[in-house]
């Protein structure tokens, strides 16, 4: 099971295809359609950035799009953050290779959303201002709590960025071989910096909304084209796929990666990671501050859950379509290696050509690239906010910084993060960065999530308790991932892992909750007593929205 | 807005009613989701033979297909239930509570 999970994460987090993507044929044709479509997307998004820049006057505009985003728009943007190129190309590739297992796998990515709705969304909106650290710091000591929350946000953001940048470089290089890996990474970095520094959250949100619309539209066309070929009968599609797929029946009968053995504990740990990690991702949590009130926060989750669930069903159909139409088609096979052209993550892209020719291939390729651009922008804004709003304005300047300075710091931070992302993207080109998605989700599930939920629900939580739990989750997941199979064995080359699972959440999440509890109940300090007293007013605000940050007046 | 108003909200019986009802629904729906999802995870781990049965005699599609899609749909349905209940009941209760506690 372990090997299998990494196989799938390799596919899903997109970077693994470098290894099996040899140089393209001598002089590949220029993919004109893809380039034109992508330039159109860039022109449109730069136009939006110009529009957004003229409407971004203060910190609320910059961080939270003036709180003027509607529930439906926010639902699309959140879904867009979640539907990365990795899940579009990676899960389709997973279905292409393993059949049914792709559906089993994608289920895990959806079940975090209801949890966000039931436990977090409305309370987060009622208590916070710009970052989720606002909520944890509401009644606890702002300084140390924000340092911890911002630190874990930054670690999540930077590692997530590495995965996206490496994916962008490899994708663009595979689609348009004339563009080098490094050039692709730099293009992404520059565009993302422009969107975020000039247009702030408004531009970032609208770029994400447009991309989500294009991706859902494109995927719908592909899935319908596949089903139409089989008279809209799943049975006919499955039957044909079983006939064509080299592993035949196994694609319908194997609910784990073909050849893998299920390990229930490991499966449960993966489940916990996906379910609660989603609820701790800083760039997702930040989107809940862009809507007008708790009601809109609530409806955003319903919309995003619908879009994401629909998307995964489309991906499943697309993967089976690729089994039928891409397998064995000489157009898509590398004449030298006999592997899939462009690497293992390309089935969805080649299916686009099979159903819609060069024009549609260009469209899907441009959408896949736009997807990376949009996700990277949201991540960078979340990271920059942790630096400017938490570190600078609240910890360093102790809340006395002016809004203008805070936003200026945020823009400088964006520039810095952009440069870091480009540099790391280039450094990690040849590395297998597949473990990164697991790392980010594990940290989010073991550090951000328990601190956030306990701060909102448990009166007894004190600053010391939150710090103990949060740091234990953060350091524990980093340590266990390092001595786990992925890094210890695959990256460092040791024979056997010290910790048996890829995903440490089954250990680190309970550990974080336990430590936060023990340290809180034994904390008899005067400040702890004050923090417990302050819970009552926080509770009223979280439940009713009384005193919550309002929508912008303009 | 001030501590006095928070005090009035807290002492209003509607506040207790609102919190109790909403928290109960949230935890019940969370529990249902956990049971469905981890039930699915365990079924995948231990019940592969069950999942791999044909959906009807001779079909290529297996029982696992509708169940897997069902788990996805159940996540959507559970969020739908919460939003419907919140829009029709909790929002009214909150409005009334805030009006009474001004």
Q: Which of A44-53, A257-266, B50-59 is predicted with the least confidence, judged by mean pLDDT?
A: A257-266
User: Between helices A347-385 and A71-82, what is the axis angle to 10°?
Assistant: 110
The CATH number that domain A2-21+35-62+69-544 falls under is 1.20.1730.10
- The neighbour count for residue A208, using CB atoms within 10 Å, is 29
Residue A172's nearest CA partner among A342, A384, A337, A288 is A342
- Pick the residue from chain B with its C-alpha nearest to A306: B76
What pLDDT does A487 receive? 82
Residue A119: band (very low, low, confident or very high) from pLDDT cuts 50, 70, 90: very high
Q: How many CA atoms lie within 13 A of A435 on its CB side?
A: 26
ipTM: 0.94
Q: How far apart are the first and last CA of chain A?
A: 54
Calpha distance A457→A459 (Å, rounded): 7
Convert A151-163 to b/e letters by CB count within 10 Å (16 or more is b).
bbbbbbbbbbbbb
As a whole number of angstroms, the distance between CA A96 and CA A327 comes to: 9
Question: Scanning the structure block, which residue is given the tokens 């489940």?
Answer: A271
User: Confidence class of residue B79 from pLDDT cuts 50, 70 and 90?
Assistant: very high
**pLDDT value, residue A429:** 83
pLDDT in tens, A334-391: 777 778 887 788 899 999 999 998 889 889 988 988 889 999 999 999 999 999 999 9
Beta carbons of B72 and A268 less than 8 Å apart: no
Q: What is the pTM of this model?
A: 0.90
A256 in B contact zone (CB under 8 Å): yes
| Shortest Cα distance, chain B CAs vs residue A439, angstroms | 21
| A58 interfacial to chain B (CB closer than 8 Å) | no
> Do the chains contact at A117 and B1, CB–CB below 8 Å?
no
Beta carbons within 10 angstroms of residue A270's beta carbon: 26
- Longest Cα–Cα distance of chain A, Å, equals 74
Q: How far apart are CA A35 and CA B59, in angstroms?
A: 44
Nearest to B79 among A114, A256, A263 (CB): A114
Cβ neighbour number for residue A36 with a 10 Å cutoff: 14
Render pLDDT for B13-24 as a digit per residue (tens, 0 to 9). 999 999 999 999
Residue A545's region, left for phi above 0, alpha for psi from -120 to 50, else beta, is left
Tell me the CA distances in angstroms from B77 to A83, A111, A297, A425, B33, one per residue in order. 20, 12, 17, 40, 10
pLDDT recorded at residue A174: 79
Q: What percent of chain A has pLDDT over 70?
A: 92
Q: Report how far residue A167's alpha carbon sits from residue A380's, in angstroms, rounded to the nearest whole number.
A: 16
Q: Is A75 left (phi over 0), alpha (psi -120 to 50) or beta?
A: alpha
Question: Looking at per-residue confidence, does A434 or A80 come out higher?
Answer: A80
Q: Which of A395, A268, A327 is nearest to A97 (CA)?
A: A327
Q: How far apart are CA A221 and CA A508, in angstroms?
A: 42
Q: What tokens were used for A50?
A: 């110009």
Flag whether pLDDT at A10 surpasses 60: no
Interface of B with A in 51-90 (CB under 8 A): 51-52, 59-62, 64-65, 68-69, 71-73, 75-76, 78-80, 82-83, 86-87
The residues, any chain, with a CB within 8 Å of residue A353's CB and separated by 6 or more, are A331, A332, A360, A361
Q: Give contacts of A 279-318 with B, CB under 8 A.
A: 295, 298-299, 301-302, 305-306, 309, 312-313
Q: What is the pLDDT of residue A554?
A: 44
pLDDT of residue A432: 66
Q: Are A548 and A541 in contact (CB under 8 A)?
A: yes
Query: Does the pLDDT of residue A30 top 80, yes or no?
Result: no
Average pLDDT over every residue of B67-81:
95
Tell me whether residues A305 and B75 touch, CB distance under 8 A. Answer: yes
Q: How confident is the model at residue A17 (pLDDT cuts 50, 70, 90)?
A: very low
Of the pLDDT bands very low, low, confident and very high (cuts 50, 70, 90), residue B101 is: confident
pLDDT of A423 higher than 50 = yes
The rounded distance, in Å, linking the Cα atoms of A266 and A247 is 25
Residue A99 φ/ψ, nearest 5 degrees: 70, -125
Is the Cα torsion angle A336, A339, A345, A349 positive or negative in sign? positive
A236 or A554: which carries more pLDDT confidence? A236
Q: Is the pLDDT of residue A9 over 60?
A: no
C-alpha pair distances (Å), A416 with each of A161, A165, A168, A393: 13, 15, 19, 17
Q: How many helices (H) and strands (E) does chain A have?
A: 24, 0
C-beta of residue B30 within 8 angstroms of C-beta of residue A115? yes
Q: Decide if A189 contacts A281 (C-beta within 8 A).
A: no
CA distance B33 to chain A (A): 8
The per-residue pLDDT for range A157-178, each reduced to its tens digit, is 999 999 889 888 888 887 887 8
Tokens of A161: 């960025």
- A199 or A485: whose pLDDT is higher? A199
Read off the DSSP letter of residue A257: S
Query: Which residues make Cβ contacts (< 8 Å) with residue A183, sequence separation at least 6?
Result: none
DSSP A69: B
Q: What six digits make up the tokens of A416?
A: 């810095």
- A510-519 pLDDT, tens per residue? 999 999 999 9
Q: Do B72 and A302 touch (CB under 8 A)?
A: no
Return contacts of A518-524, CB within 8 angstroms, 24+ apart.
A518/A465, A518/A468, A519/A462, A519/A464, A519/A465, A519/A467, A519/A468, A519/A469, A520/A458, A520/A460, A520/A461, A520/A462, A520/A464, A520/A465, A520/A466, A521/A460, A521/A465, A523/A462, A523/A464, A523/A465
Q: What is the mean pLDDT of residues A12-33?
A: 51
A49-53, A152-156, A334-338, A469-473: least confidently modelled range: A334-338
Three state DSSP letters for B23-78: HHHHHHHHHHHHHHHHHHHHHHHHCHHHHCCECCCCCCCECHHHHHHHHHHHHHHH
Nearest to A302 among B1, B62, B79 (CB): B79
The span from the CA of A212 to the CA of A219, in Å, is: 10
């Amino acid at each position: 099971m372990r090997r299998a999970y990494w196989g799938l994460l390799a596919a899903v987090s997109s970077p693994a295809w470098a290894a099996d993507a040899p140089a393209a044929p001598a002089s590949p044709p220029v993919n004109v359609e893809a380039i034109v479509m992508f330039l159109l997307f860039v022109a449109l998004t730069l136009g939006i950035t110009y529009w957004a820049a003229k409407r971004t006057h203060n910190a609320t505009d910059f961080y939270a799009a003036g709180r003027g985003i509607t529930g439906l728009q926010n639902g699309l943007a959140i879904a867009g953050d979640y539907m990365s190129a990795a899940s579009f190309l990676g899960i389709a590739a997973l279905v292409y290779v393993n059949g049914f297992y792709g559906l089993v796998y994608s289920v895990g990515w959806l079940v975090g959303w209801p949890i966000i709705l039931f436990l977090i969304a409305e309370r987060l909106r009622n208590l916070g201002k710009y970052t989720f650290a606002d909520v944890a710091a509401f009644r606890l000591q702002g300084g140390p709590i924000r340092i911890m929350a911002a630190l874990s946000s930054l670690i999540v953001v930077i590692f997530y960025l590495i995965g996206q940048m490496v994916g962008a470089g490899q994708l663009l290089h595979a689609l348009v071989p004339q563009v080098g890996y490094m050039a692709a990474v730099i293009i992404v970095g520059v565009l993302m910096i422009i969107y975020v520094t000039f247009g702030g959250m408004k531009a970032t949100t609208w770029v994400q909304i447009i991309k989500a619309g294009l991706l859902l539209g494109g995927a719908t066309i592909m899935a319908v084209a596949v089903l139409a070929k089989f008279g809209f009968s799943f049975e006919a599609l499955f039957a044909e796929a079983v006939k064509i797929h080299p592993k035949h029946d196994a694609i319908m009968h194997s609910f784990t990666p073909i050849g893998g053995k299920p390990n229930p504990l490991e499966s449960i740990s993966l489940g916990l990671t996906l379910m609660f990690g989603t609820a701790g991702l800083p760039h997702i949590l930040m989107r809940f501050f862009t809507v007008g009130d708790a009601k809109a926060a609530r409806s955003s989750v319903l919309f995003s859950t619908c879009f994401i669930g629909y998307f995964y069903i489309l991906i499943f159909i697309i993967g089976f379509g690729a089994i039928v139409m891409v397998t064995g088609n000489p157009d898509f096979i590398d004449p030298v290696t006999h592997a899939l052209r462009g690497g293992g993550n390309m089935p969805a892209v080649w299916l686009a050509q099979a159903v819609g020719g060069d024009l549609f291939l260009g469209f899907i390729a441009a959408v896949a690239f736009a997807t990376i651009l949009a996700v990277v922008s949201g991540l960078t804004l979340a990271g920059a906010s942790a630096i400017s709003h938490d570190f600078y304005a609240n910890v360093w300047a102790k809340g006395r910084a002016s809004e203008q300075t805070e936003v200026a710091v945020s823009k400088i931070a964006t520039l810095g993060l952009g440069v870091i992302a480009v540099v790391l993207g280039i450094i990690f080109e040849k590395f297998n960065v597949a473990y990164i998605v697991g790392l980010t989700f594990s940290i989010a599930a073991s550090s951000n999530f328990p601190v956030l939920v306990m701060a909102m629900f448990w009166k007894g939580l004190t600053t010391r308790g939150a710090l103990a739990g949060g740091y234990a989750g953060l350091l524990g997941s980093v340590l266990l991932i390092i001595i786990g199979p992925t890094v210890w064995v695959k990256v460092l080359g040791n024979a056997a892992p010290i910790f048996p699972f890829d995903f440490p959440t089954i250990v680190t999440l309970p550990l974080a909750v336990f430590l936060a509890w023990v340290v809180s109940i034994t904390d008899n300090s005067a400040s702890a007593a004050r923090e417990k007293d302050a819970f009552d007013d926080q509770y009223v605000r979280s439940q009713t929205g009384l005193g919550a940050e309002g929508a912008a007046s303009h | 807005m001030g501590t006095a108003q928070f005090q009035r909200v807290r002492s209003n019986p509607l506040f207790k009613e609102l919190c109790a009802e909403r928290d109960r629904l949230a935890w019940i729906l969370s529990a249902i989701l956990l049971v469905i999802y981890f039930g699915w995870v365990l079924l995948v781990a231990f019940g592969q033979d069950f999942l791999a049965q044909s959906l009807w005699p001779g079909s290529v599609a297996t029982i696992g297909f509708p169940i897997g899609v069902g788990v996805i749909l159940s996540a959507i349905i559970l969020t739908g239930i919460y939003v419907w209940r919140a829009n029709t009941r909790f929002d009214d209760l909150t409005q009334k509570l805030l009006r009474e506690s001004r």
